[in-house]
């Protein structure tokens, strides 16, 4: 090895030797479990305390003198449903009611939930008319004892300026500032790992809107939130997100609508 070092130095000079050494150091493959041997940049690594609920030692001490740790053990499942097609000519929220097609879409989604037979623990409706109507139709297919809540945090709005921007849709900066804060509050309310006191898996249904759902997906996966407008969701479609006890998040489906008649699909 010493001979090779001397030979290279003699040919290219000491300065070039340093450059060659730096090149091989940078190009050397590092051990990794990924197929392409990538090492994530710090900004791209998963934040396992994204919901600020990572278990920490409690003050209580057991008989051995060790501090006990309250650790979540249950999984939370969130089913996000976009409202059905609605009257686009309505100027006020009360005039933006479901069309006949929108009612059919909500009905098909309700039937699908019934067929899946998930033990739904709660249904939350956005307080906007089209979501309220969609939610009530869906709930008619679920057991009567499933709790129903209304939430204004998940109303439709402009979450964050999209990237790339869209020419025909440019809300005012103030609209993003106000509605984005509200929608982010909705994310923080519903997206988190289970409380340590929760013993069984939960299945919560949120009936809301496309912008809200797309933003939630990006936030949940720790993707750039500005990417939310790159996705499209059909009316009445279901997006399924799972949050494990350790905080890991997975998406089972985005905008699932394969159970609908193709002639009944719409994205308006």
Is 118 labelled a binding residue? no
Q: Are 96 and 146 in contact (CB under 8 A)?
A: no
Is 130 labelled a binding residue? yes
Residues in CB range of 15: below 8 A, 6 or more apart: none
Is 82 labelled a binding residue? yes
Distance separating alpha carbons of residues 232 and 101, to the nearest angstrom? 19
Q: 249-256 and 238-243 as β-strands: parallel, antiparallel, unpaired?
A: antiparallel
Strand partners, 61: 67
Which residue in 213, 207, 220, 210 sits closest to 251, CA to CA?
A: 220
Is 150 labelled a binding residue? no
Pick out the residues of the known binding site: 82-87, 130
Pick out the residues of the known binding site for substrate: 82-87, 130
């Amino acid at each position: 090895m010493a001979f090779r070092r001397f030979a290279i130095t003699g040919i290219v000079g000491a300065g070039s030797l340093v450059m060659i050494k730096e090149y091989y150091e940078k190009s050397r493959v590092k051990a990794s479990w990924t197929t392409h041997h990538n090492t994530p940049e710090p900004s791209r690594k998963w934040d396992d305390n994204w919901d600020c609920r990572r278990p920490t030692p409690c003050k209580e001490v057991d008989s051995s003198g060790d501090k006990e740790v309250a650790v979540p053990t249950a999984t939370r499942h969130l089913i996000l449903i976009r409202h059905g097609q609605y009257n686009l000519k309505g100027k006020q929220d009360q005039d933006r009611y479901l069309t006949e097609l929108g009612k059919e879409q909500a009905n098909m989604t309700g039937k699908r939930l019934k067929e899946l037979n998930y033990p739904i623990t709660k249904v939350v409706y956005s307080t906007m008319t089209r979501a309220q109507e969609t939610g009530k139709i869906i709930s008619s297919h679920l057991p009567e004892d499933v709790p129903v809540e209304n939430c204004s945090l998940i109303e439709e709005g402009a979450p964050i300026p999209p990237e790339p921007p869209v020419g025909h849709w440019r809300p005012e900066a103030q609209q993003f500032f106000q509605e984005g804060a509200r929608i982010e509050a909705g994310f923080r309310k519903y997206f988190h790992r289970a409380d340590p006191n929760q013993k069984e898996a939960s299945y919560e249904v949120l009936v809301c809107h496309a912008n809200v759902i797309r933003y939630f997906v990006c936030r949940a996966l720790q993707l750039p939130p500005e990417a939310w407008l790159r996705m499209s969701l059909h009316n009445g479609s279901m997006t399924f997100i799972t949050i494990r006890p350790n905080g890991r998040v997975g998406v089972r489906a985005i905008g699932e609508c394969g159970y609908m008649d193709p002639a009944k699909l719409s994205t308006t």
